[in-house]
């Protein structure tokens, strides 16, 4: 079953309204605070907060494995078994790769009709620390492959359920896991209400850095748990391009090259048709780089022009992204001690698209970049996009481009205590609320959420029910591999 999300026409300030030309969206900006709050309260009357707890699989729910197979149809065939193997590591790994399955399910759940820009895949592993343009560590959402305008609840439900799945995987008790989910939902609600009372520019410039983490959580939480988070943010400074250089490059005939590690890292010369020479391949890549630079602001384009191409390779990344085309490009600046790694990552249609309206951007690379700029407090300075006709298959593919590794920090849920995961859940809830507040009508959403914990309790119930569903779907993939319906690659 495919349910196309629809919304009654309301002149609210939302990503949907902001996506329109200014002359069409201007009426939404003229509503008073009281009128915007009234829209949120009216939405609550229509869809009570308690209704957000519901997860009842419809009788015609699509086969989860079939949804994964449909995704695989547009991906690199030899990499699909790697994706399935990575998803079968654990129920949480499966959840990470199952955004398309959950998008289908979320479309069948109640929502308030209030629209914002969505991450589209807001599970806990898609948050983390990275460097701002000012070279400070900030905590934010770091994956926007599925970004698209849609009901704000879809992101919050995916995030909340990810903590339920993770808590079970860690072996926490049901009360501990429920407390973690409630912390996430409660922080989202309280933060959205805070942002509803703030001026527009204050909301836009607010970000979560080390100082704010300490100020917000240092007193209320156990000191050792906050200290661990602060330490991890500090250690992220070591995860810059130098670390990538040491891991991914080698010197061959006095030239820097990306290390070959098939099937996970494969240099471009091993993938191109035989009739294309190395010199021709370098010119093709240079043309790609030149086209991508046109999407950068003039000052950053001038900076990027000071780097020259050295090498390129295909690199398998993530869990849900495995099978999409992802390239890493090695560039050098003033000398070969001045290196830059860029990642070209394929952007296909968002998993939300069958259930929400299509993106207004024809190029999915641009869709990702525009969504990221809208939701993130600070974005990679080299974030750009490009549409490429590849030599391997002759087809057009959309890409977004970013630095491969820039002081990145990811959550290690396997080592977190229940108290530490609770702090992390609050950080993610705060961050998602900030992203939604930038892109949608924070006043209407806050009015819907209200002061009580009714929404928090509903989300905890939904998360528990959907974690059960995720477990069933995980078993379905295990069965599909066992009976030979799909193949999972061993050892990658």
Q: Taking residues 471-485, what's their average pLDDT?
A: 98
Report pLDDT for 214: 83
- Which phi-psi region, left, alpha or beta, contains residue 230 (left: φ > 0; alpha: ψ -120 to 50)? alpha
| pLDDT tens, residue by residue, 118-157 | 999 999 999 988 766 666 778 999 999 999 999 999 999 9
Q: Taking the model in full, what pTM does it have?
A: 0.90
406 pLDDT exceeds 70?
no
Q: Which pLDDT band, with edges at 50, 70 and 90, does 391 fall under? A: low
| pLDDT tens, residue by residue, 417-431 | 999 999 999 999 999
Q: Taking residues 178-199, what's their average pLDDT?
A: 98
Report pLDDT for 2: 44
Q: Tell me the residue length of the chain.
A: 492
Tabulate helix, strand, coil % of the chain (nearest 5): 50, 15, 35
Report pLDDT for 16: 43
| pLDDT tens, residue by residue, 441-455 | 999 999 999 999 999
Q: How far apart are CA 92 and CA 487, in angstroms?
A: 20
Q: How far apart are CA 415 and CA 19, in angstroms?
A: 41
183 pLDDT exceeds 70?
yes
50 pLDDT exceeds 60?
yes
Q: How far apart are CA 214 and CA 202, in angstroms?
A: 20
Give residues with Cβ within 8 angstroms of 136, minimum separation 6.
209, 210
Report pLDDT for 414: 86
Average pLDDT over the chain, rounded to an integer: 88
Q: Are 430 and 216 in contact (CB under 8 A)?
A: yes
């Amino acid at each position: 079953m495919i349910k196309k999300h629809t919304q009654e026409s309301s002149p609210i300030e939302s990503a949907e309204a902001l996506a329109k030309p200014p002359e069409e969206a201007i009426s939404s900006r003229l509503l008073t605070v009281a009128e915007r709050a009234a829209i949120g309260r009216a939405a609550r009357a229509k869809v009570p907060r308690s209704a957000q707890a519901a997860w009842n699989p419809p009788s015609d729910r699509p086969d989860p494995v079939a949804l994964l197979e449909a995704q695989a149809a547009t991906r690199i065939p030899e990499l699909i078994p790697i994706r399935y193997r990575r998803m079968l590591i654990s129920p949480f790994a499966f959840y990470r790769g199952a955004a398309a399955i959950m998008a289908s399910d979320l479309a069948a759940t109640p929502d308030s009709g209030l629209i914002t820009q969505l991450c589209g895949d807001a599970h806990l592993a898609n948050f983390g620390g990275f460097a701002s343009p000012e070279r400070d560590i900030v905590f934010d959402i770091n994956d926007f492959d599925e970004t698209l305008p849609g009901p704000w609840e879809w992101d919050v439900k995916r995030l909340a359920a990810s903590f339920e799945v993770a808590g079970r995987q860690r072996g926490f008790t049901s009360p501990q896991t429920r407390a973690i989910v409630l912390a996430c939902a409660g922080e989202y609600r309280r933060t959205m209400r805070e942002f509803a009372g703030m001026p527009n520019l204050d909301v836009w410039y607010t970000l979560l850095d080390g100082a704010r983490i300490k100020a917000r959580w240092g007193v209320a939480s156990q000191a050792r748990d906050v200290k661990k988070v602060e330490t991890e943010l500090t250690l992220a400074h070591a995860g810059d391009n130098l670390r990538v250089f040491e891991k991914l490059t080698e010197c061959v005939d006095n030239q820097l090259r990306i290390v070959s590690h098939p099937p996970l890292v494969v240099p471009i010369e091993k993938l191109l048709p035989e009739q294309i020479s190395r010199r021709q391949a370098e010119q093709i890549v240079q043309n790609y780089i030149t086209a991508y630079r046109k999407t950068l602001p003039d000052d950053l384009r001038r900076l990027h022009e000071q780097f020259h191409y050295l090498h390129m390779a295909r690199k398998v990344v993530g869990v849900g992204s495995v099978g999409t085309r992802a390239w890493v490009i090695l560039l050098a600046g003033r000398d070969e001690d001045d290196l830059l790694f860029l990642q070209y990552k394929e952007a296909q249609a968002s998993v939300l698209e069958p259930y929400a309206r299509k993106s207004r951007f024809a190029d999915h690379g641009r869709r990702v970049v525009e969504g990221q700029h809208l939701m993130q407090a600070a974005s990679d300075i080299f974030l750009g996009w490009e549409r490429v006709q590849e030599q391997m298959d002759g087809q057009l593919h959309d890409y977004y481009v970013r630095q491969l590794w820039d002081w990145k920090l990811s959550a290690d849920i396997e080592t977190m205590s229940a108290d530490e995961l609770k702090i992390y859940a609050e950080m993610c809830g705060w961050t998602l609320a900030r992203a939604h507040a930038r892109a949608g009508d924070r006043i209407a959403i806050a009015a819907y959420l209200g002061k009580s914990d009714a929404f928090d309790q509903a989300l905890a119930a939904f998360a528990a029910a959907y974690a059960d569903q995720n477990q069933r779907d995980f078993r379905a993939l295990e069965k599909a591999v066992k009976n030979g319906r799909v193949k999972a690659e061993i050892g990658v």
